[in-house]
Amino acid sequence: MSQPLAPASGRIAELDGLRAFAVICVVLYHMSAFSGALPSGPAWSAGILSVLGQTGVHVFFIISGFIITTLLRREAAAKGRVSLTSFYLRRFCRIVPPFAAYLAALLVVGSLGAISVSTSDLLWSALFLGNTNLVQPEGWFAAHTWSLSVEEQFYLIFPPLFCLGLRFCASRTLYVLGPLYGLCLVSLKLGYELSIHVAPGWINLAGLHHFRYIIIGVLLATHGSSVMRFLTHRSRAWPFVFAVTIVLLQWVSARSFVAIAFAAIEPFFCGAFVIWFIQNPTRCSVLRWPAVQWIGACSYSIYLWQQLFTGPAPLYHGWTFTQSPWAIVPLTACAAASYYLVERPSIRLGRLLSGRRSIERDPDLKTAQDSSY
């Protein structure tokens, strides 16, 4: 038998640990490849670090899809319906206040002349359009908001479809939607690659093809019981096998059009990587270390603020410590301030506005804090 999706406390500690792993990969990649704060090393190591940075964001996507779908299923089972108003209130309070605080800080620092930042970049990022080619931010400091755009666009589409399925398909909803998600998963990757190789001038699915990682999280939450059973009590070698496969598939897909079909299955290995840690908590105690858990809890704020301290040297006007490993100190301070002063209060506000009066018993708050990062 596989273990339950969450322990009695309502929190999956391994997911916070994986968030810590993911955000650390992103920060190390940026500090090595862009700011020069860390040595880049030989070409092969730089390539692996690049893949790890990308995989870190993909892990965020998978966890988000898994958690949100699990919570939607839990609410539907308890109440017979899902309140979209409450969902979007919680989503807004979870994502927007810390994001707005970061953008406001960019405006202040830019107005002081410490960095060069485009107000148009900030505008398109604030509208969650940073993953579109037409208005993609060109500056460094808002470039990472493409991932937020992917998530928010997906969650404008998925919860209403989930509710429609509940209304018209009742208990068969998940079985009807599952094959459609799987088809969409492969089609997004194939369509993206075809748009690059066949008709790059008139079609580009660069933004939408990242949906496939969130869809994997959805599939694991709806159809993943057999995968969970299979991965329970498996050897510690399994996550290493998944990690090597992910690296190889990303490397191959960047070099061979013939391998596109194989690359389309790469998100499945990312999903299996995540599930192994959930199903084998006694074999990955490092993810439960207090420091790792803290990083995971703060991962959204860390992800937002790392961009300010990991850019190339020419972007800063007299700022030099960003090209040093010591840049991690102000990054940590800003992320902690964002987490304690903005993120946590806004999460609680979202619960209150959505009608959840008993915050201490709210599974959303305890189960990896609702989604995303």
Domain positions in the chain = 13-352
pLDDT tier, 359 (very low <50, low <70, confident <90, very high otherwise): very low
Per residue in 223-250, pLDDT tens?
Answer: 788 888 888 888 889 998 988 888 877 7
Q: What is the pTM of this model?
A: 0.86
pLDDT tier, 161 (very low <50, low <70, confident <90, very high otherwise): confident
CA distance linking residue 83 with residue 76, whole number of Å: 9
pLDDT tier, 193 (very low <50, low <70, confident <90, very high otherwise): low
DSSP bridge pairs for 316: 115
Which range is least confidently modeled, 5-9, 68-72, 82-86, 102-106? 5-9
Query: Quick one: which of 366, 69, 11, 75 has its CA closest to 221?
Result: 69
Of the two residues 265 and 182, the one the predictor is more confident about is 265
Backbone angles phi, psi at 115, to 5 degrees: -140, 165
Which of 4-18, 23-37, 41-55 is the most confident on average?
23-37
Name the maximum alpha-carbon separation found in the chain.
61
Query: Quick one: which of 342, 355, 369 has its CA closest to 99?
Result: 342
Average pLDDT for the chain: 81
Q: Is 214 exposed, middle or buried (0-12, 13-18, 19+ CB in 10 A)?
A: buried
Block residue for tokens 């301070």: 333
Of the two residues 351 and 189, the one the predictor is more confident about is 351
Query: Quick one: which of 315, 324, 310, 223 has its CA closest to 275?
Result: 223
Return the pLDDT at 321: 73
Tokens for 231, please give them: 């991965």
CA distance linking residue 358 with residue 371, whole number of Å: 19
